[in-house]
Amino acid sequence: MEKIKVAILGATGTVGQKFVTLLYDHPYFEIHELVASERSAGKRYIEACRWKQNIPVPENVRDIVVKTTDAKLESKILFSGLDSSVAGPVEEKYANEGHYIISNSKNHRMDPDVPLVIPEINHDHLEIIKQQNYKGAIVTNSNCSTMFLAMALAPIYREFGIEAVHVTTMQAISGAGYPGVPSLDILGNVIPFIGGEEDKVETEPLKILGSYKNGRIEYADFKISAHCNRVPVYDGHTETVSIKLKKKAEPEEVAKILDEFSGLPQELKLPLAPEKPIVVFDEPDRPQPFRDVWLNRGMSTCVGRIRKCPIYDVKMVILGHNTVRGAAGAAVLNAETMYRKGLIE
């Protein structure tokens, strides 16, 4: 099989580097172009990038000469890890030129004709790209905290219905990009504010869990209240969640629904799809970022401490790898899904 040529936008940044680690030996895709800021342009990737991953820069990537966002690109698929300050117009430009933008950036997530996709949950939303006014298309994945919350809520919402959700996030410093948060701010501390984060967590799941009907996405009909905190953990966003159900259920019933959850990526056995998208723990002190964040290559959502809530109905702890399943890995899985569904021409 001839691989599809892909480019990475924002290739020298934290998410861009993670894209490189996930794509350099991918069975469907071949890294053909790397795009970054003007200060990196014209340099070999190994020279332009302050590499911070746990493997060396791949040999087939290190000598690629970095291009700017003004460059004409040959690749069909562009994975965007661009900063939101520049992502919007750059992604639109390339979509107008016929490229398929698979974006981790927030800029177009809530556009009415842009799907916000977790393929285990709402791969049918991808059909809406046919209504976009681009020669190509823009597809987005969610905010990193939204990802794991939505993954856990989806099977519960479908089986029991949801009236309300209260979530408190404890978000790793890697979610702030490199170099992250100043050490004097985060060491031994909790920062109870992450700009714009609570709004994303309160709105994005409603689009993801919504229904695609008559060419539009109808949002899910419950409310979410979020508190978002930065904590001194390197990788792994932890969330404590309380859920009010429409149809009452015991914690054991909720745990069973979560444990049995699966979706299209598992059915198609996509390269990056975890065999179990949700891993349910019985231990009273799990999941933990230090021990569990890399389960299934960082692509699973971990759920534990499922128990009765004295105010709502059920409560639990959720964990996921914020830079893998919560960022670059989510975008790659979206592209794999689009490819296998025949949506990339």
Q: Residue 162: which pLDDT band, with cuts at 50, 70 and 90?
A: very high
Q: Residue 182: which pLDDT band, with cuts at 50, 70 and 90?
A: very high
Domain at 4-143+328-340, CATH class: alpha beta
The residue type found at 41 is A
How far is the C-alpha of 256 from the C-alpha of 250, rounded, in Å? 10
Percent of the chain at pLDDT > 70 equals 100
Residues 6+ apart with CB under 8 A from 215: 128, 131
Please say whether the beta carbons of 6 and 19 come within 8 A.
no
| Of residues 143, 138, 141, the one with CA closest to residue 121 | 141
Please say whether the beta carbons of 280 and 258 come within 8 A.
yes
How close are the terminal C-alpha atoms of the chain, in Å?
Answer: 15
Give residue 1's pLDDT.
72
Residues 6+ apart with CB under 8 A from 184: none
Per domain, the residue ranges of the chain are: 4-143+328-340, 144-321
Q: What φ, ψ does residue 223 adopt, rounded to 5°?
A: -110, 150
Give residue 137's pLDDT.
98
60 to each of 49, 67, 69, how far by Cα in Å? 15, 16, 22
Give residue 32's pLDDT.
98
The H or E element spanning position 145 is: helix 144-160
| Mean local confidence (pLDDT), 149-156 | 98
Instruction: State the sign of the Cα–Cα–Cα–Cα dihedral 274, 280, 281, 287.
Output: positive
Ordered strands of the 77-80 beta sheet: 29-35, 4-9, 77-80, 100-103, 137-140
Give residue 178's pLDDT.
86
Please say whether the beta carbons of 146 and 217 come within 8 A.
no
Please say whether the beta carbons of 296 and 279 come within 8 A.
yes
Read off the pTM: 0.97
Please say whether the beta carbons of 141 and 15 come within 8 A.
no
The answer to whether residue 306 scores a pLDDT higher than 80 is yes
| Mean local confidence (pLDDT), 200-209 | 98
Please say whether the beta carbons of 261 and 120 come within 8 A.
yes
Domain at 144-321, CATH class: alpha beta
- Assign residue 190 a region (left: φ > 0; alpha: ψ between -120 and 50; beta: otherwise): beta
Active site residue ranges: 144, 237
